[in-house]
Amino acid sequence: MKPSSFSFCRAAAVWLGALFLAAPGLAAQQALAGPLAAQSLATTTLQKRPGCWGCTSCSGFTCCDGGYVPGYWNCSYGWLSGNCQLSSPGCGESALVPLDPDGSAQYVTRAPAAGVLAAVSPDGEAEVRNCDGVIVARRLSDEQIAAIRGRTASLTL
């Protein structure tokens, strides 16, 4: 994890806060990802930034927690509501879900933060999914691991 991603979120929050104080008529909700994403379309130098992909508690507030997914904004932050929205836009409907080479979303590898806003699947506690149904955390039992190794030791196609 890069420290710059967290500081990016904090810096953006401070920037939005200053803007809010300077302009009392500002709309009630400010999305962090929205304006930055819009800028990125205009100037490509702003397109690639440390993204954030999870939500956590920062000194009593909810804030975006940094991972490092270049070019992706996977969470947005409502400044006044203090709500962090996971995975924008569309919660992974586009190709913006980073993949691990086993074909799982990379969230699985970074489970602790990404699972915060996810729902537990009804069939057990082993899988945690985000709002789109993407598995974002998974814990495998020893039996499951043995079965996976057995099923993939030799393949014919």
Footprint of another protein (CB under 8 A): 1-2, 4, 40-41, 44, 47-48, 67-71, 89-90, 92-106, 108-112, 129, 132-135, 137-142, 145, 147-149, 151-157
The nearer residue to another protein, 82 or 133, going by C-beta atoms, is 133
Give the nearest distance from C-beta 86 to another protein in angstroms.
15
Which pair of tokens denotes residue 81?
Answer: 């509501």
Structure tokens that stand for 124 in this block: 């057990």
Question: Which C-beta is closer to another protein: that of 64 or that of 69?
Answer: 69
136 vs 129: CA distance, rounded Å = 5
Exposed / middle / buried, residue 122 (Cβ in 10 Å: 0-12, 13-18, 19+): exposed
23 vs 155 by CB, closer to another protein: 155
**Residue closer to another protein, measured from CB, 30 or 98:** 98
Distances in Å between the Cα of 106 and the Cα atoms of 14, 64, 94, 103, 152 are 29, 17, 15, 9, 21
In whole angstroms, how close is the CB of 31 to another protein at the nearest point?
15
